[in-house]
Structure 1
């Protein structure tokens, strides 16, 4: 079952400020619960969608794909996943200019975690082997003992992380 996490823990089944349904999944149109993890509520999908459909799902629930704004947040997200998940980072509008779904640039957030290969060819690399149009959407992934971002084809089916801010 898809879950909403508060500071890494599932909340109790009932609370005074939210219904049980809102706690257990992103099933309500909007979520008005509070969270202890830096004012954000997260949803980790168990289903796979392409990047655009993932974002549309998040937006339909009053959220968006996650914007990573600190190393602490990245470490938290990484502790909750075991495979690639879409994040809200893309260069769809301008090749090489990576922007979060909230229109912040990587300079604005001050966080970057692109994978660096020993060979020197690092992410983002806009590889065209899978998709001739290139790689324009980012995933977060735990790889070789660290959390990294990779650019991949937006058409691929991946799990995703939604985020709602308070």
Structure 2
């Protein structure tokens, strides 16, 4: 019963998500963004794809492995400390229940985070104005 409900939700979301290819992992849908853009432009691009889409959040090693395997390059994720220095939050307000830093350098100018393919998907602080590719997620 649960999988048929997820499939129904999946079809409903896809029909409203333009013609982008979405892939399901557990209770979420993922898609690759188009081009290299700043963090804020990446977030806006996700929302253009679907009103409930946002930059990806990662909550487990399983999800990290899935995303790293799916994209295989450095990508923006929704983790940031834009509002308060050194207080990292998910852009969509999700609970911070998992982190995997590749390196942490206390740099007040770096407020956005990307998933680094060179570190098996671990996270690196970055300048929000840098241009990277990105991934979007819809939580079902």
TM-score (norm 2): 0.78
Segments of 5+ residues of structure 1 without an aligned counterpart are 1-16, 116-121, 128-132
Higher helix share: 2
Q: Give how far 1:70 is off.
A: 1.3
Q: After TM superposition, what 4+ stretches of structure 1 lie above 6 angstroms from structure 2? A: none
> Alpha-carbon deviation of 1:136?
0.4
Task: Choose the corresponding residue for 1:27, options 11, 18, 40.
Answer: 18
Q: What RMSD over aligned residues (CA atoms) do the two structures have, in Å?
A: 2.5
* Count of residues paired in the alignment: 126
Check whether the contact 1:98–1:105 (CA below 8 A) recurs between aligned residues: no
Question: Would you say 1:114 and 2:104 are equivalent positions?
Answer: no
In the alignment, does 2:82 pair up with 1:92? yes
> For residues 124 and 24 of structure 2, what CA distance do their matches in structure 1 show?
29
User: What pairs up with 1:71-150 in 2 under 5 angstroms?
Assistant: 71-106=61-96, 109=97, 111-115=98-102, 122-123=103-104, 125-127=105-107, 134-144=109-119, 146-150=120-124
Gapped runs of 5+ residues in structure 2? 1-10
Cα distance in 1 for residues equivalent to 2:43 and 2:27: 20
Relative to 1, partners in 2 of residues 1:40 and 1:135: Cα closer, same or farther, differing over 3 Å? Answer: same
SS of 1:156's partner is coil
Look up the SS of the partner of 2:113 in the other structure.
strand
Shift of 1:91: 0.1
Structure 1, residues 102-147: CA drift from partner, whole Å, max 9, x if none? 22353xx2x11101xxxxxx31x244xxxxx610000001225x32
